[in-house]
Structure 1
Amino acid sequence: MKKRDFLKSTAALATVALLPGSVWSMTNNKRLRVVQIGVANMGAADLEAISSHELVDIVALCDVDSNALAAAKKLHPNAKTYADYRLLFSEMGSDIDAVVVSTPDHTHAPASMMAMDMGKAVYCQKPLTHHVSEARAMRKLAAEKNLVTQMGIQVHSFYDYKLATLLIQSGIIGKVKTVRAWSPKNWGYDGPAPQGSDPVPEHLDWNLWLGTSAERPYKEGAYHPGNWRKVLDYGCGTLGDMGVHIFDTPYNALALDVPRTIKNSCRQPTGFGFPEENVVTYEFPGTKYTAETLKWVWYDGKNAPLKHKDLKLPNNEKLPEQGAMFIGEKGRLLLPHFMELPRHIVDGKYQELDVSELERSGKIGAPLRDYDKEGKMHYHQFVDSCLGKDECSAPFSYSARLTETILLGVIAGRFPNKTLHWDNKTAQFLEPEANKFLDAPYRDF
């Protein structure tokens, strides 16, 4: 089933939501009626953060796992509960204002697109989508309907990342020619696909968990609740998980668009899991903050990052476990991940950063060094934007392009050591064999 056909068929379930009375005015509403789709793990964290805003009412909760749903219901006893987001929209469409989507990656676009088709504001966890075609479709729909949107990259609103962005854009290291970013996390799987099947737990609706993805037998421990990120059909590997966070600040600071070329050095594809170790090299067209072209190298897995002179620190210090290094004409800027100040390096020595003027400007806030407080800022920005009091800093107009960039690197993992050429205008690879991975049919469920 094509994605637009999926929307047409499921939108028929929610015709009440398309009535004029459901087109809510941010300025006329004093409170925001929010629905949370996916309430376990990161979904539970999202629910806690979004509901901490004093003007939010959680009116409905949705999850395919009844155990997770029951736990969330205890925290929000007045919220209605659903297993199927389509039924939720059908019954409550006119009584909700905003939707938070915190499901596995393969359900991000189906749930978000349906909500946006009904004119709802959407906060969607990262990576924004599972396929490049979905990222383009979500960006287009959000723009057409002029919706408030935000992708869940919480650190985008943190002090250290905003500071690094302003420092790079101030020219502290001159024009940037290379970025190297890394995470030793392993959301890959080099083994064989699981064989056979196990009984589906009573608390799990396996059909709804699969959603629009291809049908597959349930196997205990292989997918739900924790390992789906490793599987091609449901997640986006380490690059789609940590890469979105760590790419975000350099991508934003350098005002990048999508890359021209992508190459992933990894093992041969298995057709089931993502590679456990990746070295992805992108080439971007230049911007006013970069050299004529920008080289970007991403490393993940247990050996990340590989040794390189660009990554050598003063006094032979050890690199932070995760982070990014900007290499410019006049020095380097290290941005650890996360909640550590960026470090300015010139001629092999650290330089003192004077950020007093930036702090006085109010552009970066204060370094809270308290994740429980700073972590909520990104969610509260979304709520305040829905109520007409702020503006989202990671709307789909931005985060869809960031996600597209990430997903192009994921696709390159299917063609180890082969340079793929991306045409931004046509949204196609010059290598036709790669184009079939830009999309996937939606299953009727």
Structure 2
Amino acid sequence: MKRRHFIKTTSAGALATGLLPVAFSCSNPKHLIKNGKVRIAQVGLGMMGVNDLKDTASHPAVEVVALCDVDSTYLNKAGADYPNARKFIDYNEMLDTMGDQIDAVIVSTPDHIHAPVSLKAMNMDKHVYCQKPLTHFVSESREMARVAKDRKLVTQMGIQVHSFYDYVLATELIRGGIVGKVSKVIAWSPKVWGYDGPAPTGSDPIPADLDWELWQGDAPKRPYKDGFYHPSNWRKVLDYGCGTLGDMGVHIFDTPYNALELQVPLTVKNDCRPPNGFGHPEKNHVTYTFPGTKYTTDQMTWVWYDGEGAPEPQPELELPNGEELPDQGAMFIGENGQRLLLPHFMELPRLIVNGEYQPLEIEKYDPKGKLGEPVRDYAGESPKHYHQFVDACMGKAEASAPFSYASKLTEVILLGVIAAQFPGEELHWDGQNAKFREEKANQFISGTAS
């Protein structure tokens, strides 16, 4: 996880004297598109990128003007659907060539490229929608939030469920006190975006349609090895992805983090296998402690499990009637023992009191019916988050997951990723000064580890 000079085309000086405070906001955005089309450039056209492009382009005000991917197969396939868009292999060339013809950039690349693309675009006053996790390193997240604020840009992180009915409802229920003050959250995913084996040796021929140098960006250079990186296994590798925690953790953390109005944790510990210098652990058990908010007890505990068999069985996760837990989800535990289960995804939250399910009485928490009727249609709900971003670019809405919010959520996730370098050791985080009490861990904030 060596340092990548991700800000060489942006404002490197902001990080030279230490990271900035975590709280950012963007009010009165500039560069709004009041008339005509919102001209979109899409960077990254793999599976998620194609979905991002389709849902963004489904907004009637969007015009897709540029497409970029280092894999010409993906690029040409997407280009066939948007024949009027110019095609590029290198995002730098795209932005340098078409800067005055682009209003907003959608970033759907592997994690290690999120910050380089987004920062260059924002420093050219382009609004940015960036997939989750927002960045690969904590330093990048804070820089992204700072630039978005300074430039007064519309930004949104790609956590589509943030705009889904079930998750908005859960937020209203928790803030309405349905389980009282929350003392603990347990969240889990059985996905395995880690790799416990040895680093690959040797090299394989680089596919003719792939620019491997551009794919790596400023990450440490590695020989191409089939099946380990592009197109689908990069999440498992330290230099390119953030493991299961960085993938599913962002989605599943989002609603509790938002509902409880958390900031950054006081401590973090990851019980996992020793670091192997190449891949993320296949199983993580991460424990955070957070300072209290008006929706929590004075100090709140957050526990995350991922990997095969997650989560570990425990009384706090037992369901009525001996039911099995949903495959992925989160459990809010109130100080009075009441619990709210939020499955991931497309299921309503469930209230558990004294070991029995209780009706939600939604109208009590949503008396004006602003949430509307429950929606069970992923295809119908999916475009909401993208359309909200486009509407915000036109001054007709506000983005609900701007970088001011997304940077903090991502920081929490990345602290758990860093803790995997020190298994079983509790690390103490100074959010104001953005550093660990344990000096040895600070090299991972900006990827300076060798």
Query: RMSD of aligned C-alpha atoms?
Result: 1.5
One-letter amino acid of the counterpart of residue 411, structure 1 = I
Determine helix, strand or coil for the equivalent of 2:214. helix
Q: Who is 2:8 aligned against?
A: 5
Q: Who is 1:347 aligned against?
A: 354
Paired residues of 2:161 and 2:251 also in contact (CA < 8 A): yes
- Counterparts of residues 414-429 of structure 1 (less than 5 Å): 414-429=421-436
Paired residues of 2:6 and 2:218 also in contact (CA < 8 A): no
Kindly tell me: are residues 162 and 24 of structure 1, through their superposed partners in 2, closer, same or farther at Cα, counting changes over 3 Å?
A: closer
> How far apart in 1 are the matches of 2:398 and 2:448?
34
| Distance apart, 1:362 and its partner CA | 4.5
One-letter amino acid of the counterpart of residue 195, structure 1 = T
| Distance apart, 1:361 and its partner CA | 2.5
- Where structure 1 has 5 or more consecutive residues not aligned to the other structure, the ranges are 10-22
- Counterparts of residues 229-248 of structure 1 (less than 5 Å): 229-248=235-254
1:372 aligns with 2:379: yes
> How far apart in 2 are the matches of 1:287 and 1:358?
20
- Counterparts of residues 300-319 of structure 1 (less than 5 Å): 300-319=306-325
Q: Who is 1:13 aligned against?
A: none
| Distance apart, 1:355 and its partner CA | 1.4
> How far apart in 1 are the matches of 2:234 and 2:210?
15
Determine helix, strand or coil for the equivalent of 1:436. helix
Aligned match for 2:70, one of 64, 67, 74: 64
| Distance apart, 1:181 and its partner CA | 0.2
| Distance apart, 1:430 and its partner CA | 0.5
Between 1:117-126 and 1:351-360, the stretch displaced more is 351-360
1:82 aligns with 2:119: no
Kindly tell me: are residues 413 and 363 of structure 1, through their superposed partners in 2, closer, same or farther at Cα, counting changes over 3 Å?
A: farther
Q: Who is 1:361 aligned against?
A: 368
| Distance apart, 1:41 and its partner CA | 1.1
> How far apart in 1 are the matches of 2:31 and 2:289?
43
Q: Who is 2:113 aligned against?
A: 107
> How far apart in 1 are the matches of 2:175 and 2:166?
14
Q: Who is 1:285 aligned against?
A: 291
| Distance apart, 1:359 and its partner CA | 5.4
> How far apart in 1 are the matches of 2:104 and 2:8?
23
> How far apart in 1 are the matches of 2:33 and 2:99?
19
> How far apart in 2 are the matches of 1:153 and 1:183?
16
User: Any runs of at least 4 consecutive aligned residues in structure 1 with deviations exceeding 6 A, and if so which?
Assistant: none
1:207 aligns with 2:210: no
Q: Who is 2:390 aligned against?
A: 383
Q: Who is 2:274 aligned against?
A: 268
> How far apart in 1 are the matches of 2:125 and 2:212?
29
Q: Deviations over 1:186-210 (max 9, x none)?
A: 0000000010001111100000000
> How far apart in 1 are the matches of 2:117 and 2:317?
41
> How far apart in 1 are the matches of 2:367 and 2:182?
26
Paired residues of 1:123 and 1:149 also in contact (CA < 8 A): yes
> How far apart in 1 are the matches of 2:247 and 2:180?
30
| Distance apart, 1:31 and its partner CA | 1.4
Q: Who is 1:18 aligned against?
A: none
| Distance apart, 1:212 and its partner CA | 1.4
Paired residues of 1:3 and 1:441 also in contact (CA < 8 A): no
Aligned match for 1:218, one of 203, 215, 224: 224
Report how many residues are paired: 429
Aligned match for 1:410, one of 414, 417, 420: 417
Q: Deviations over 1:76-95 (max 9, x none)?
A: 01000000000000110000
| Distance apart, 1:4 and its partner CA | 3.5
> How far apart in 1 are the matches of 2:448 and 2:429?
22
Q: Deviations over 1:244-279 (max 9, x none)?
A: 000000000000000000000000000000000110
Aligned match for 1:184, one of 179, 190, 200: 190
| Distance apart, 1:24 and its partner CA | 7.8
> How far apart in 2 are the matches of 1:365 and 1:247?
24
One-letter amino acid of the counterpart of residue 267, structure 2 = T
Kindly tell me: are residues 24 and 326 of structure 1, through their superposed partners in 2, closer, same or farther at Cα, counting changes over 3 Å?
A: closer
Determine helix, strand or coil for the equivalent of 1:122. strand
Aligned match for 2:200, one of 194, 198, 222: 194
Paired residues of 1:2 and 1:441 also in contact (CA < 8 A): no
Give the alignment's TM-score, normalised by structure 1.
0.94
> How far apart in 1 are the matches of 2:61 and 2:372?
22
| Distance apart, 1:329 and its partner CA | 2.4
> How far apart in 2 are the matches of 1:393 and 1:387?
15
| Distance apart, 1:40 and its partner CA | 1.0
Determine helix, strand or coil for the equivalent of 1:299. strand
Determine helix, strand or coil for the equivalent of 2:9. helix
